[in-house]
Amino acid sequence: MFSLKGKTALITGSSRGIGKAIAKQMFLQGANVVISSRKAEACEQVATEINALNETPSPRALSIPCNISRKEELENLVNTTKAKLGQIDILVCNAAVNPHFGPMSTIPDTAFDKILSSNIKSNHWLSQLVLPDMAERKDGVVIIISSIAGLTGNPVLGTYGISKAADMALTRNIAVEYGSRNIRANTIAPGLIKTDFSQALWANEAILNEALKHTPLARIGNPDEVAGAAVFLASKAGNYMSGQTIVIDGGSTIV
């Protein structure tokens, strides 16, 4: 039920952290995977690392660098993927930015605009580029990596949380508009996961201890624990799930 053999997955922000873990786990389930982030060298390194897991010499991990804030680079990402791998069966919008750590009252307009553009508009653009082909084939999966910051208020991640709440709404609307053409769209909302992106939180002992006080599992997560949910949503196991948000946070939002 969890096999992705013969499928192609395009994963943004996949040179590290949650995106890299999703690419690796989808690859291990048989998918071709596209590794994409801004830096070409980092993408190539991860693609080589993942291809080394393959039992056959044919590479199934492809490196295509892309800055998600530039529409022309997203177009190149999609067109190059289709030219080299045939089609895109699974789209994982994982790349995101957060240039402001602090209250919304102090965020500069430039940072506010960058967060909303990179975390919402780029996912909208990428979906627009990929969904028509999926609709024509009547088969496809879209997964957007959101955050529990989109479910709760936060004194230092307010604008980031707004963008992540919008990603949940974007997913629901894709599910409604394309469901009749057998396209499923879902969101994953991780809690505190040990990645470079969230280092400002878990590397700060006071913030970490406060977070763990309100986390029933009494620890932070690791990227593979998010990747498993992505594999589920992309595979036959998740065939009847659409428009939903899966929260993976060790239980912190229930306390």
CB-CB contact of 141 with 91 (8 Å): yes
Q: Which positions are annotated as active-site residues?
A: 160
19/50 Cα distance (integer angstroms): 13
- The per-residue pLDDT for 204 is 78
CA distances from 13 to 39, 40, 227 (A): 10, 12, 13
Does 8-194+222-244 carry CATH code 3.40.50.720? Answer: yes
Q: Distance (Å, rounded) from C-alpha 154 to C-alpha 159? A: 9
Which is nearest to 12 in space by CA: 84, 73, 68?
68
- Report how far residue 112's alpha carbon sits from residue 163's, in angstroms, rounded to the nearest whole number: 10
pLDDT (tens digit, 9 = 90+) per residue, 189-228?
999 998 877 677 777 788 888 888 999 999 999 999 999 9
Nearest partner of 245 among 153, 157, 175, judged by Cα: 175
Going by pLDDT thresholds of 50, 70 and 90, the confidence category of residue 57 is: low
CA distance 116 to 16: 22
Task: Tell which phi-psi region holds residue 19, choosing left (phi > 0), alpha (psi between -120 and 50) or beta.
Answer: alpha
At 56 the pLDDT is 65
Report pLDDT for 195: 83
The answer to whether the beta carbons of residues 114 and 97 sit under 8 Å apart is yes
* pLDDT tens for each residue of 146-198: 999 999 999 999 999 999 999 999 999 999 999 999 999 999 999 999 887 76
**pTM score over 0.85:** yes
Burial profile 180-192: b = 16 or more Cβ within 10 angstroms, e = fewer? eeebbbbbbbbbb
Cα Rg of the chain (Å, integer):
17
